[in-house]
A and B are shown apart, each in its own frame.
Chain A
């Protein structure tokens, strides 16, 4: 730490040097005076003979260090003094930067947590989900999984897992919990060790229902069992079936999906035991679990894909129906394959770009302030140049000031962002679902914050560098103003302002597009009327019913609920449309098909009771509704939506037409056509859907009672709870309005709107402060001129035109450029935001009005200033 000691000793040493030089000059002057010169003459002559005192002193000092360290210290001190002397400027700059850098830190943290940070298991970089080539088709059949697992030569291990909800009973308490069905090798392949007890292993599996075990997550164990260690080895009930708690997972292991934190893991071979259809494990055409493989060390994803593809080809030969055209693709795990992955990635990259644009706009803003200040300090800088300071030293000072400001902004921005991220990480956006967004920043995030600070400091600090480089000390001291830029009339800060305004308009446009899309999606036709509908969801398998026992219970539920006063209609559907766990789909084939290798298309499948249409408000467009006369043994009937009808039958009338389901012998008769709707997400394209009678098809264990009523929801909920508990008190019930159930479907749009809205707001603020800065500056520079003009009889309006014409012109041209960019960029938003289109007159108009208001706001004070000029006073002043 030699240089620290030197720094400390430095002050005394420099003083020694100054004393020494002073004495040198004095001695020399004394000598000259002895030769007959006057004191002043002698002193001047001595200085002339000595040379540039400052320069010599400086170069002498530089012998000492590490001149950089010392120079840096001086620069920082000087910069800090400058900022202290201009608190208004310092504060504006720091706030601007902390918003710009904070926004980037927040967005990058989310991006880092969701896309970059690996799963918390051993060798996460070798893990890949095995999916199909077609995007959005991410699940595999269990038999295919077994073949992939056993035949591959490129993976160290391959696991299957599926998210599930189940009723968990201990003593008298039954709750609905979320967990994983996982293959026996799950924990071993991931290399996770239990906190307590043991995990299940591959050798625990001996065929269907052979491993009645359950592993609890740490959080669930703490919450439900108060961290009781004796729970290991005891029995609890999962969907009424006894299972043994064999172990507790470590605290920081939350399964293999980033958002979804399971409460428990149970072997996948237990699926049928806890109420899953036996098809779940043995049907090659039923695609449910995710498959996750760990590459062997040194194997590339491409080699693994090739390996899997050759297995696919063999499977397709072996099982020409079920595995026709089977293919494989590797996907980075954690975001439900590409179900969430694709859109999350696109969206976050888009928002990251916007955040960088905000920062760029902030830099342009500060760059113009710095340029203005450099112009103001022209005289000071000229004097410093004249007394021997080098341009590099001056530039270093300006840069130090810029970097100091931006570091302060970076620190406060990062602190702000960390607080926001901590809040976000505790936030559970979906009450009934273990959905977590843990986005706490890590070292990478802080490094980025630091780098962004330094980079932006250098960026806007270097902007006025040209001015310093070109300034000619002698000319400036004489009062000659040299043109600032080769562009002549347009100064650097004007260019910066228009760039900034263009960026801000782009951001404002984007956020308006998002807001408008959100507003539209709230009013988009969903294919049902969610308003005034309460959903009561239950899972009969959780209460121990077998499939064949479902119908009588369901009928009783309908009858009892219909009797509640105030209930206008009640029906049943087996999946909540736009809700959690929606939807399932199934391939359809033309009537008369015998070759089931390639389906015509996949359609959403729902089972409903005849009353569902009245209860949900789904409109029947032609044909007839079901009735209870459509029994299990009567000819199979189906309702299809408009998209289905068009895809299957074209322009022909579809009522009375037939089609086949996979492997079906009896054709399904279309008895009616219903309106199109949204099923999975608000932004989806029209999807084909079909509705079967409850009596004829069961595709899901869920029973969702759709209750339409004018009753207040709390009252209805408690009555429903009572009524349904009277039927069977073991029924696990979830009661919420349909609107609440759609939270998950609305979440991406809401998150997008919030993110874009905040960016737009930041941008609007930056545009205002930027314009304000330039307008104020241009007024203050021309106060004297205005005073003269007023004295000569100029009208105030002319003054305003002269003062604000340029800022407003810049605002206008920047806005137009930004709007054009916004129109181009908004195409990117179409994935997330419902019907995002910037050609919307409301968006265009809104952007214009916003920018105009900003312009008005930003130029109001400077305009008032120029109006209130008192020429008499102004001209008396210097």
Chain B
């Protein structure tokens, strides 16, 4: 779905993890979520809308998120996404899984030629 071939796809589960974490910080609507990720990653990460919305639906379907009718900052009707109890638990598990993985990857990459 990447519009720009220079942006590599995130590895599996990364987008979901970031969504969950961001929404764990505070419930947001879709566009706010995109802006949030872009902002906190200092523009290093660009979330494709083509991936974001399907991912949101996946998480909704898995019961990790729920959506509520809300009003955007501009006063327009929108849907606010937030974590469910199951989402919070899942996020915790996933984060420790990712940390283990990052640590592993870091160690592998740290090995230099002897």
Contact surface of A with B, Cβ cutoff 8 Å: 13, 16-17, 19-21, 23-24, 26-28, 30, 49-52, 55-57, 59-64
Contact = CB atoms under 8 A, between A and B. Distances in A.
Contact of B31 (A27, A59, A61, A63): A27
Given A20-B29, A20-B78, A26-B74, A63 B50 contact: no
B76 A26 contact: yes
A20 B76 CA distance: 10
Given A24-B30, A27-B31, A63-B58, A19 B53 contact: no
A23 B54 contact: no
B31 A17 contact: no
B54 A63 contact: yes
B17 to A, nearest CB: 17
A18 to B, nearest CB: 10
B53 A21 contact: yes
B30 A21 contact: yes
Contacts of B56: 20, 60
| 4 interchain residue pairs of minimum CB distance | A23-B78, A63-B57, A24-B31, A60-B53
7 contacts: A16-B79, A21-B53, A23-B77, A23-B78, A26-B76, A56-B50, A56-B54
B57 A24 contact: no
Contacts of A16: 67, 79
Nearest to A15: B79
Given A27-B72, A50-B49, A63-B61, A19 B31 contact: no
Given A20-B56, A23-B30, A23-B79, 5 more contacts: A17-B57, A50-B49, A51-B50, A61-B57, A63-B54
Contacts of B88: none
Contact of A24 (B3, B49, B54, B58): B49
Contacts of A63: 54, 57-58, 61
Contacts of A51: 3, 48-50
Contacts of A61: 57
A23 B58 contact: no
B37 interface: no
A687 B78 CA distance: 93
A20 B30 contact: yes
Interface string B36-60: 0000000000001110011011101
Contacts of B79: 16-17, 19-20, 23
Nearest to A14: B57
B15 interface: no
Contacts of B78: 19-20, 23
A21 B57 CA distance: 12
Interface of B: 3, 29-32, 34, 48-50, 53-54, 56-58, 60-61, 67, 72-74, 76-79
A23 B76 contact: yes
B77 A28 contact: no
B58 to A, nearest CB: 5
A24 B73 CA distance: 12
Given A30-B74, A60-B56, A24 B34 contact: yes
A46 to B, nearest CB: 10
B57 A23 contact: no
Interface centre among B30, B34, B48 (most CB of A within 10 A): B30
Interface centre among A13, A20, A50, A57 (most CB of B within 10 A): A20
A27 B73 CA distance: 9
B57 A64 contact: yes
Contacts of B76: 23, 26
A56 B49 contact: yes
A647 to B, nearest CB: 86
Contacts of A52: 50
Nearest to B55: A63
Contact of B54 (A13, A19, A28, A59): A59
A57 B50 CA distance: 9
A27 B79 CA distance: 13
A56 B53 CA distance: 7
Contacts of A26: 72, 74, 76
A62 B61 CA distance: 11
A56 B30 CA distance: 13
B61 A64 contact: yes
Nearest to A55: B50
Nearest to B78: A23
Given A23-B31, A24-B30, A51-B3, A57 B77 contact: no
Nearest to A51: B50
Nearest to B49: A50
A60 B54 contact: yes
Nearest to A24: B31
Contacts of B74: 26-27, 30
Interface centre among B3, B50, B57, B67 (most CB of A within 10 A): B57
Nearest to B80: A20
Contacts of B53: 17, 20-21, 56-57, 59-60
A55 B54 CA distance: 11
A260 B57 CA distance: 67
A61 B19 CA distance: 18
B50 A59 contact: yes
Contacts of B48: 51
A9 to B, nearest CB: 11
A661 B29 CA distance: 107
B34 A60 contact: no
Interface centre among A17, A49, A52, A60 (most CB of B within 10 A): A60
Contacts of B61: 63-64
Contacts of B72: 23, 26-27
Contacts of A23: 29-31, 72, 76-79
Contacts of A64: 57, 61
B72 to A, nearest CB: 5
A396 B87 CA distance: 37
Contacts of B60: 13
A179 B31 CA distance: 88
Contacts of A20: 29-30, 53, 56, 67, 78-79
A60 B59 CA distance: 11
